[in-house]
Each structure stands twice: as C-alpha cells, then as structure tokens.
C-alpha cells in the first residue's frame, strides 16, 4: 500500500522512538520540562525569534497566535484557501472574534499589491485592518511558495500600515528548501510564525509557535485557556528535536519524489497536471478527463493499493513524505496507469 494521503501519516522511526523514550521530562505547565524548553529555544533560534512555545497542533498554534494579535472586530487579511480560514472549523470567529477579509491568491499566494488594495482606510465605519495571515508552503495551493522577496514586500507594507503578520509555516522547511534559503530568512518577515513537527518532519504531534518574548508570554496564557497546557510533554518534544536533527535535509527527497510523481502523472491519459508547478511535496492533479469524479477515482485506486485524497470535484491531492520511497512512487504510477489505461 502506498499512502500518499498526507505527510501526517508518517510513523515515528525506531530512532525517534528511542529519543522519545530517553527524554528528560518535567511539568511543562510549570515551565519545567527541559526537553520542551530545548525544543522551544531551538525553533526560536531557527526562526530568528526571541521565544517559542510548544503547541499540541498547528490549528491551536494558529488560533492562539490570532487570539494574541487581534481584538474582536479587527480585520484579518487572508487568502480564501488558507488553512486558517478553510480548515479550522471557524475557530477565529469563536475564539478571537476577528473578521476575515478573504482575497483570491495565485495558487493561494497573495501579492503585496493585492493586500495593499485590501487594507482599509482609517474610517469609523470600517473594521480596523490589523493582521495579515500568510501560509508557506500553501496546502490548497498545491505546496506553492512565498519567496523571501514577496514576504519582504508584504512585511514592508504591514509596517507602513501598522499591521502585523502571522505566518502559518506548517511546511516552512519545505518552503525554505524550495527557495534555497533558510526558514529564518522567511520567518523574520513575520511577527509570529508556527512550524509543524507532525507534517513533513515526521514527528507524531506538535507545532512550535514563535515570536517576541512578550507575544509568547501572552500566547502561553491563551494556550492554557484553550486546554493546551500539557505536562511531561518532553516525550513529544524529543520527537520534534530528533526530527529537526535528522529529517530536515531529507525533505529534498520528498520534493524529488513529488516531481517524479507529477512527471509520471502528466503522461497518464485523462490526468491534467503541470509538473512545473510542483515545487515542494504536494501534488495536485485534475482527473476530469478520466470521466470519473475525484472521490470515485480515489476509492477505486485505494482498492488497488494507492491512497490519495479527493481535493475538489475533479481534483486529487498526493503528498510525499518520510515513509514514501522513489520505488513507492514507481509502484503508485504503475497502479494508476493500470487503472486508467488498462495495462
Ligand atoms: C495541517 C496544517 C495546519 C494544522 O495543523 P494540525 O496540527 O493538523 O492542527 C495548519 N496549517 C497548514 C498549512 C496545515 O497544512
């Protein structure tokens, strides 16, 4: 079975489990877990921020960041396919009372110009434009990327307008690799950033939210409020530290496998894809030409041994990850060809 549904399906490696088993722990709500503290310091350093905060999930990291940045009624500029807007159960309305202004990005990626024209003038009738949320890489955009240049332009715009930026960097390491830069170069353009340990990095759980010391101090209270204060969680933090030491450089393999998959798919009749648009570990393709809806095709392929996710009426998503090899991609392509072309 080749499981390309998501990079969240990875299982901890034996070495990661060993690191988890040997982790030194303490009560993290009291700030006494040395492994959590080490992870937070390490990710803060990597992202060029003063402090970090371990979070049970990316969703909580994003929502705590937004809660820390905005007051009820404040406006948040975001693209309409962003995870924060699309996949987080309306949490911002419930938790922060922030109001979204949704823009349509190019594969989810916004330009400084588009954001500039969405920022509201100072007018008692209008909500104050307070926060810009960006996603790098962009999941629903097919792993598309904000370059450092684009982030810098948006950052300058935010400063000029007294706005803040939160960067949802669930796959920021993938973005940095695709742009041959560091996560720091990207993260320093935002006021807060979160990175996931449980996506491409292959840890079982956790994200780290980073920002100024003051921001993190407030975020810690909101994390507690939402039930995210955990105790001897160094066991999970150890998996994150192990992932940062051993699973970052190997992301290149995932990107190569995604390219390989995209090139193979481009040659299958009924499938539409531009391999040139596949920059990271996410592959989106259109299956309208097969005469099958995405969910029907995905179900069919699952019975043959390839797991994918329907991502739209005729759009399918595949994600490469730690537990998928180049040989698995060959196998997946063979199965897809057999199902769609009959040989
Ligand atoms: C998965 C994901 C999240 C949420 O992370 P969870 O740990 O699943 O809550 C946020 N943003 C992006 C871009 C994601 O892909």
How many A from CA of 62 to the centre of ligand 1?
9
Q: Could you tell me which residues are beta bridge partners of residue 78?
A: 102
Pocket test for ligand 1, best of 64, 190, 193, 199 (most atoms within 8 A of CB): 199
How many A from CA of 105 to the centre of ligand 1?
19
Protein fold of 14-246: 3.40.640
Locate the ligand 1 atom nearest the alpha carbon of residue 82 and give its number: 13
How confident is residue 343, by pLDDT bands cut at 50, 70 and 90? low
Task: Give percent of the chain with pLDDT exceeding 70.
Answer: 100
How many A from CA of 270 to the centre of ligand 1?
31
How confident is residue 110, by pLDDT bands cut at 50, 70 and 90? very high
Q: Give yes or no for residue 56 having a pLDDT over 80.
A: yes
pLDDT digits (tens, 9 = 90+) for 272-325: 999 999 999 999 999 999 999 999 999 999 999 999 999 999 999 999 999 999
List pocket residues of ligand 1, CB cut-off 6 Å. Answer: 57-59, 62, 83, 135, 139, 168, 170, 196, 198-199, 207
pLDDT confidence of residue 244: 98
- Kindly give the interhelix angle for 326-341 and 294-304, rounded to the nearest 10 degrees: 120
pLDDT digits (tens, 9 = 90+) for 175-232: 999 999 999 999 999 999 999 999 999 999 999 999 999 999 999 999 999 999 999 9
Given a contact cutoff of 8 angstroms between Cβ atoms, the answer to whether 49 and 196 are in contact is: no
Q: Where in the chain is the domain with CATH 3.90.1150.10?
A: 250-341
Q: Give yes or no for residue 150 having a pLDDT over 70.
A: yes
Q: Where in the chain is the domain with CATH 3.40.640.10?
A: 14-246
Locate the ligand 1 atom nearest the alpha carbon of residue 59 and give its number: 9
The CATH classification number of 250-341 equals 3.90.1150.10
Pocket test for ligand 1, best of 5, 58, 88, 105 (most atoms within 8 A of CB): 58
How many A from CA of 58 to the centre of ligand 1?
5
Q: Give yes or no for residue 112 having a pLDDT over 90.
A: yes
User: Which phi-psi region, left, alpha or beta, contains residue 202 (left: φ > 0; alpha: ψ -120 to 50)?
Assistant: left
Q: Give yes or no for residue 342 having a pLDDT over 90.
A: no
Q: Give yes or no for residue 96 having a pLDDT over 80.
A: yes
Classify strands 306-307 and 2-3 as parallel, antiparallel or unpaired: parallel
How many A from CA of 239 to the centre of ligand 1?
18
């Amino acid at each position: 079975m080749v499981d390309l549904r998501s990079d969240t399906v990875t299982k901890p490696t034996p070495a990661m489990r060993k690191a988890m088993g040997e982790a030194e722990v303490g009560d993290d709500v009291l700030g006494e877990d040395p492994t959590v503290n080490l992870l937070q310091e390490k990710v803060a350093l990597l992202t060029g921020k003063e402090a970090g905060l371990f979070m049970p999930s990316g969703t909580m990291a994003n929502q705590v960041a937004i809660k820390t940045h905005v007051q009820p009624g404040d406006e948040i500029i975001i693209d309409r396919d962003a995870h924060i807007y699309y996949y987080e159960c309306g949490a911002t309305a419930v938790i922060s009372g922030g109001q979204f202004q949704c823009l349509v990005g190019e594969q989810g990626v916004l330009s400084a110009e588009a954001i500039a024209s969405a920022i509201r003038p100072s007018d008692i009738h209008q909500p104050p434009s307070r926060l810009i949320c960006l996603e790098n890489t962009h999941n629903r955009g097919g792993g598309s990327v904000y370059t450092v240049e684009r982030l810098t332009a948006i950052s300058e715009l935010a400063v000029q307008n007294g706005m803040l930026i939160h960067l949802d960097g669930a796959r920021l390491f993938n973005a940095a690799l695709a742009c041959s830069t560091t996560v720091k170069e990207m993260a320093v353009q935002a006021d807060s950033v979160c990175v996931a340990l449980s996506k491409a990095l292959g840890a079982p759980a956790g994200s780290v939210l980073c920002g100024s010391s003051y921001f993190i101090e407030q975020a810690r209270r909101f994390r507690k409020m939402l039930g995210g204060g955990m105790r001897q969680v160094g066991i999970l933090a150890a998996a994150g530290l192990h992932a940062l030491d051993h699973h970052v450089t190997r992301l290149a393999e995932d990107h190569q496998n995604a390219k390989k998959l995209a090139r193979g798919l481009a040659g299958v009749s009924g499938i539409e894809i531009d391999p040139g648009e596949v920059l990271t570990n996410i592959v989106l393709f259109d299956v309208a030409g097969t005469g099958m809806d995405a969910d029907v095709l995905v179900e069919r392929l699952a019975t043959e041994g390839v797991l994918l996710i329907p991502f739209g009426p005729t759009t399918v998503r595949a994600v490469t990850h730690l537990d998928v090899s180049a040989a698995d991609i060959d196998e997946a392509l063979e199965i897809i060809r057999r199902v769609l072309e009959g040989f």
